[in-house]
Amino acid sequence: MLINHHRTVRWRKWNRAVAVVSVFAVLLVLGLSLFLILRNNTRRPALSTSDTPSDLVPLTLLRNANLTGAFCLDGSFPGYHFQKGFGSGSRNWLLHLQGGAWCNSIASCSERKATNLGSSKYMEQEVNFPGILSSDPSQNPDFFSWNKVVIRYCDGASFAGRPESEFDNSTQLFFRGQLIWEAATDELLSLGMSNARQALLTGCSAGGLATLIHCDDFRDILPKNAKVKCLSDAGFFLNENDIAGNHTIESFFHDVVELQGVSKSLNKDCVAKKDPLKCFFPQEFTSSITTPVFLVNSAYDSWQIPNILVPLSSDLGGDWSKCRLNIHSCSPRQIGILQGFRNSLLKALSDFLQINGGVFINSCFVHCQTLAETWHGPAAPKINNKSIAESVGDWYFNDKIVQQIDCPYPCNPTCDRVS
């Protein structure tokens, strides 16, 4: 009996020990689960080159491309990257039109169709969203929680080409930029954009030009009571002669418009008054846009200087070989010519400024500033102690007249961070 009694006591003690260990294990599992849930619900930081695939935004091909005839240059389906909004931004939409120059001939368009700027076959399947597309409020304080979309650029005419210009089927080129714009926005409307409360159309470079071309179209397809505005980044291309006196950029744009049948997509007020071939230049039609517009541009744009002001064809002696690529390598005489280019920009903007158009014109040697650290944060250039993001925020949300125009190069020390 005594042995059985001891066994019973030991058995009870062992059972209590097992129970304690079991409870501890359950609590440990619950605590670990709670930690994982809280960690996963924490807002992700801004995307970087070290992001894991789960942090990247996947490519979606247009579902209705085959029915609408909206094809890339090579006939493949266009695509977009969509990151769903959350919280207070769940009914707000930001559309970004990708840039990447243009093609102005059968030869250049044929080359382009074998790249990610002419075919979805070569597009990255996942991309990160920096700057104005970031989901990190420290990098993107006003738009971080919005629905954000990047529409991929694969037509070579700022989303404005038309199929009527496909005069020779043997080239196997599709000039469908206008149809891509229409098909992409139709699909996004079906995904919730038709209920947008606030919306912003943006674009960089050739996409910035496309933003200006389609700004009023964007306003027209959204609810009448929605707040809709447009932001063009580095899209105000000047119709300026190069240093040799040649009309290099005008001739180039003329060929783009002619080749891809862009005229019918351009601002109707401009086309009614001027040669349609001129109306591809923003200075000819930006003041006619009825939707509020904000322009982000450098007065010394690092694409426009080597391609519009000093193309290689204008510098046969090589005197500008260093300066055209790096403003810090320019001589005083060359800086004087660059100041003249800045003056031409401000003159071209005069009508737009008179109607209270929003601008952030800095003196940095840079091209496209909304998709990088130049948008906001410690590395961002500033005018009157305001970053681009802060200036755009004042204009968009507070409806302020924001016209930030920098002093001439090299007066702004914050430009040293980026140029």
d(CA 256, CA 14): 85
157 phi/psi in degrees, rounded to 5: -145, 40
205 phi/psi in degrees, rounded to 5: 60, -120
Is residue 281 within 8 Å of residue 348, measured between CB atoms?
Answer: no
Query: What is the residue-wise DSSP string for 140-162?
Result: -TTTTTSEEEEE---SSSTT---
The residues with which 94 forms a beta bridge, in sequence order, are: 148, 200
d(CA 318, CA 410): 24
Catalytically annotated residue among 74, 155, 301, 406: 301
Q: Find all residues with CB under 8 Å of 215, minimum gap 6, and list them.
A: 201, 230, 289, 291, 293
Told to judge if 351 belongs to the known catalytic residues of this protein, a careful annotator would answer: no
Told to judge if 302 belongs to the known catalytic residues of this protein, a careful annotator would answer: no
Query: What is the residue-wise DSSP string for 268-332?
Result: HHHHHHS-GGGGGSGGGTGGG--S-EEEEEETT-TTHIIIIIS-GGG-TT-TTTTGGG-GGG--H
Told to judge if 90 belongs to the known catalytic residues of this protein, a careful annotator would answer: no
Both structure tokens of 349: 């903007």
Catalytically annotated residue among 76, 120, 134, 205: 205
**What angle do the packed helices 206-221 and 177-190 form, to 10 degrees?**
50
Neighbours of 168 (CB within 10 A): 9
d(CA 228, CA 199): 5
Q: Find all residues with CB under 8 Å of 383, minimum gap 6, and list them.
A: 360, 362, 391, 404, 405, 406, 412
The side-by-side arrangement of strands in the sheet containing 92-97 is 126-127, 57-61, 79-83, 147-151, 92-97, 198-204, 227-233, 293-298, 358-362, 403-405
Catalytically annotated residue among 81, 96, 214, 367: 367
Neighbours of 320 (CB within 10 A): 22
3-class SS letters over 114-143? CCCCCCHHHCCCEECCCHHHCCCCCCCCCC
Is residue 248 within 8 Å of residue 233, measured between CB atoms?
Answer: no
Catalytic center residues: 205, 301, 367
